[in-house]
Structure 1
Amino acid sequence: MTTKRFLDLKQVSDELAVTKAQVYTILKNGDLPAIQVGPKRVWRIERVKLEEYIERQYAATREAVEGGDVQGEIPEDTED
């Protein structure tokens, strides 16, 4: 079985566990490179670009944690 080179918004949103609207925002602000194809100009994201984006997010998160600048959601179940 071969891995597809390009993903659509739904596939990317599933991979990142976010909404399609959030993926669209990431595309529009340029954080995740993508192309628009066909007469309907649908978005397609290259799998390798998604993996690079994820790696950049890991690096940015590490830097934020090390700098004490962590933002975002707080886990609800904080068992010790």
Structure 2
Amino acid sequence: MSSSMDHRVLALAGVAQALQQVRRIAETGHSEAATVRTAMDSVFRVDAASPEAVYGSAAAVAPGLRLLHNYFRNQAQDDVLP
């Protein structure tokens, strides 16, 4: 995979991860602090050279990568997703 594609996938994973937490907060009033911190910190890193720099590391968006992996393998645990 090209570096550009890697960057796009990591960015999409970060967005998916953040949206999952927004939904979790809306439904339960609770969230995972580390995941929310990653999302909030990313808002202020607008001049970063790469998604890794935005999120701190690729590992920080691992939950989002798992979400995407499951979604594209039609194994999503979410009935609301198309």
The higher relative CO (CA closer than 8 Å, separation ≥ 6) is in: 2
* TM-score where L is the length of structure 2: 0.31
Larger helix percent: 2
TM-score, structure 1 normalization: 0.32
The structure in which a higher percent of residues are strand is 1
Decide which structure has the larger Cα Rg and report it.
1
